[in-house]
Structure 1
């Protein structure tokens, strides 16, 4: 798939179930004909949709909170803002274009996930970081410049941590809130 708006993962062997599950969630948002591709990389899928990827993330969070059993196969969903060639120059250009989202006093880090590419992750991180005139912070930055390389294509996004959906984390957080709410009040004097 040359252009994609979503990259999502599942368990190895769960690709067909994850594709059907994603199609259902996208239908909830009005997309009756999403283009979903199971890649050659185990557990990795791509989708092209007219639905807003960030709206999908919020929709998935709501489902994880209210009906967590509906999310069975999808593990992680990353919105993709720009799809480009998987070359350092193209990725840097895309990241530079999206970097205006990062305020002058805000921080960021660059995350690179490579699949089927011989590009150097270190070189790519260094090139992107040198093109963005903001402060880098590796732990708890305000923004993440996410580069997802799939073969000869790259998906680039500038995201807040909450813009990436993890079903495992969402369900764990929901469980932790339920545990806190279920604890009896301390009756000691």
Structure 2
């Protein structure tokens, strides 16, 4: 066992063919024991050359474990091998974590391996355990009756890391004011669902559906149904995926002109093609977010935000000069782009 490769399910054969093209002497186990998304390189002519080739030329391989020690898949053998492989690879000034992936049936669990191997590595090296952001990782891959062990640097692609600031506080300030998309009943519901999914994805403070004149009740009802359906759909996914509490976006309906009157004094940002470019608005926009408790983002639909509202708006911004964004893309585009530009300004300030 030289390397353990992980691929998306269904791409094992394609990845294996690429490896064979590079090394005709290679010996592979593709989907060993029927395990999908797995390739074991049993033997190759030049291991380091193969690793370099995979990293550069085989994107079908999502992760690679360079096996330094192979042993039997029993707890004692694995612990002894982990102790051995960590010797000289982890210093007492470094932190480490043990990560175990177990495939097959055994009389122990992954957590048992982590605890026992972790204690052995700590005793051997004097290093300290850091499960969240370790300097080194002792990777243990168990495949039925065999185990491969390696020590790697602690970097991994992560959704959150210490140098990232959570974006939630920014989006929690934003109230999306959306004129309804009306027309065919089917179209109104579909666009509503897309908007609902988008605002829930960003967990904005609220969504206000704001017609500016009397509208067809059936069309409005379908649009609202779609919005709620989209919010519920995304909310369920978030609850399963996140290890924190997720807030469902509140939805209300209010006449656009009345909302503008009620919220006079609050920042109101209109997103329409007549506005200034986002880069020109960035500094003022950042100041608005620093000072305001709530920031209102106003989006039109087929007709756009009425020009009279421009007069009371804090700013009118054109997100993409020369391009008219579809109704369902306007809000998510504005949310992502304003967050990005403000974050870049803040990062520049910190760097200087």
TM-score (norm 2): 0.39
Distance in structure 2 (CA, Å) of the matches to 1:129 and 1:60: 30
- Distance change (3 Å), C-alpha of 1:53 and 1:139: farther
| Bigger Rg, structure 1 or 2 | 2
How far apart are the structure 1 equivalents of 2:14 and 2:71?
28
Partner of 2:150: 157
Task: From 67, 71, 77, give the equivalent of 1:84.
Answer: 71
* Equivalent position to 2:36, from 37, 42, 45: 42
Give 1:129's aligned residue: 118
| CA displacement at 1:78 relative to structure 2 | 1.1
The aligned counterpart of 1:8 is: 5
The Cα offsets for residues 49-81 of structure 1, whole Å up to 9 and x where unpaired, read as 3455455434434x2xxxxxx435322211111
Q: Which of 97, 100, 107 pairs up with 1:109?
A: 97
Structure 2 runs not aligned, ≥5 long: 158-352
Partner of 2:51: 57
**Structure 1 counterpart SS, 2:76:** helix
Cα-to-partner distance string for 1:93-142 (whole Å, 9 max, x where unaligned): 10000111101211110000111133311111110011122201112211
Equivalent residues of 1:107, 1:137 under 8 A apart: yes
Cα RMSD for the two superposed structures: 2.1
Residues 2-57 of structure 1 deviation map (CA, whole Å, 9 limit, x = unaligned): xx1111122222222121112234x2xxxx31110111101111012345545543
Greater RCO between the two (CA within 8 Å, min separation 6)?
Answer: 1
How many angstroms apart in 2 are the aligned matches of 1:140 and 1:122? 18
Q: TM-score, normalised by structure 1?
A: 0.71
Looking at structure 2, the residues matched to 144 and 126 of structure 1 have their Cα atoms a distance apart, in angstroms, of: 14
Q: Secondary structure at the match of 2:148?
A: strand
Whole-Å separation in 2 of the counterparts to 1:152 and 1:46: 14
- 1:116–1:99 CA distance, 2 compared to 1 (3 A): same
What SS class does the counterpart of residue 118 from structure 2 fall into?
A: helix
Equivalent-residue separation in structure 1 for 2:46 and 2:26 (angstroms): 12
Where does structure 1 differ by over 3 angstroms across 4 or more consecutive aligned residues? 50-61
Q: For residues 55 and 139 of structure 1, do their structure 2 counterparts lie closer, same or farther at Cα, with a shift above 3 Å needed? A: farther
* 1:82–1:76 CA distance, 2 compared to 1 (3 A): same
CA contact (8 A) 2:27 2:44 kept: no
CA distance in structure 1 between the partners assigned to 2:47 and 2:128 by the alignment = 27
